[in-house]
Amino acid sequence: MKFGIDRLLADPALRAPLEGKRVALVAHPASVTEGLVHSIDALAACPGITLSSAFGPQHGLKGDKQDNMVETADELDPVHGIPVFSLYGEVRRPTARMMDSADVFLFDLQDLGCRIYTFVTTLLYLLEAASGTGKAVWVLDRPNPAGRPVEGTKLLPGWESFVGAGPMPMRHGMTLGEMGHWFVEHFGLDVDYRVVAMEGWEPSAAPGFGWPESRIWINPSPNAASLNMARAYAGTVMIEGATVSEGRGTTRPLEVLFGAPDVDAKAVLAEMRAFAPQWMEGCAIRECWFEPTFHKHAGKLCNGLMIHAEGAFYDHAAFRPWRLQALAFKAIRRLYPDYPLWRDFPYEYVFDKLAIDVINGGPALREWVDDAGSVASDLDAVARPDEDSWVEERRAFLLY
């Protein structure tokens, strides 16, 4: 199978509309060809393509910025001599000066298929900046490693942020190329939008269920270190809004349901099994211990639970990471009613809402966790209508 970048490089007919145009590339460390050549180098060497600028999203073009809310400065590419603009520095939205640097913008980011992963918002902001200007945006499509499943509540009106581009559920089950079509339609954008589609991507095929066996995994951001993380992320990302650790400062970040020095992981696991065992299917969960070298609980021994949505333990149809993470929070709350679970700090520059609510695009999940009388079916009743309606809404935009 071939990703969008590989098809573009291999087919002169696909590249023909770029002749005589100034071309910009939006990229990060996972923006590589099937031969592991970075897209900026491959495009610079490609006949008929004139690279005039490049853009880096959150964590930077080089992917060197470890944590959230760590900004990247603009720079000059030392090899190709073109400006590299940061879309996670002084601005999140491309400025007029940035847009003036090119005629066509090639968007070549590997995504995780989760609303909160900011590359999807960066795509929307680029489309909005190009709308009405005559500029073109092409997505060089890449797989959604989480596949087609849909899970979570939709973002509520008024809760838009850099981690909430629009009213989609947490786990949206689309590629960025497909999502761009939805953005253009949903927001009524006037933009020359094209997708260089993948060839041979089978999102429901075993064993990858979204990620092809023929391609190695390269971190699109510093803490997206494995396919297991990509599958679990639509749940584990919520820990960024909690005081327990998501494993940052270890070698397996965002692959745990929690870690903390003052929580009994075995007791939490037992409570999860007693409360909603149906939400624990499709993966293995084991007790673990870790000591973060930085971030939450740095230097302290943490007891936690590790997720294994991989190998023989993985059932693609049964795995529901958003509910699984909600269940872990619920079990902690039931065992430790007064535990200060929710982190009170500005999250992605939103200062007036709790981080857990910003992440979920509304307060419903937190309220369910904190309600001593709530049961599993109560959260299902909130989420399922959103999930069902999204499956129908996205149908017209699926390319594979």
CATH code for position 359: 3.90.1150.140
Low pLDDT (below 70) residues in the chain: 63-69
Q: What is d(CA 40, CA 31) in angstroms, rounded to the nearest whole number?
A: 8
What is the per-residue pLDDT for 348?
85
Q: Which domain holds residue 195?
A: 4-220+393-397
Angle at 159 between CA 154 and CA 165, to 5 degrees: 65
Say yes or no: 24 and 120 in one domain. yes
Say yes or no: 199 and 93 in one domain. yes
Say yes or no: 106 and 215 in one domain. yes
Say yes or no: 205 and 244 in one domain. no
What is the per-residue pLDDT for 68?
58
Say yes or no: 206 and 330 in one domain. no
How many beta carbons lie within 10 A of that of residue 311, not counting itself?
10
Look up tokens 């190709």; give the residue: 80
Q: What is d(CA 326, CA 85) in angstroms, rounded to the nearest whole number?
A: 37
Backbone angles phi, psi at 286, to 5 degrees: -135, 150
**CATH number of 213's domain:** 3.40.50.12170
Say yes or no: 351 and 262 in one domain. yes
Say yes or no: 192 and 270 in one domain. no
CB 220 within 8 A of CB 30: yes
What is the per-residue pLDDT for 63?
67
What is the per-residue pLDDT for 73?
85
How many beta carbons lie within 10 A of that of residue 7, not counting itself?
17
How many beta carbons lie within 10 A of that of residue 103, not counting itself?
19
Say yes or no: 191 and 108 in one domain. yes
Say yes or no: 183 and 241 in one domain. no
Say yes or no: 147 and 36 in one domain. yes
Number of domains in the chain: 2
Say yes or no: 191 and 58 in one domain. yes
Look at residue 391 and give its three-state secondary structure.
Answer: helix
Say yes or no: 60 and 154 in one domain. yes
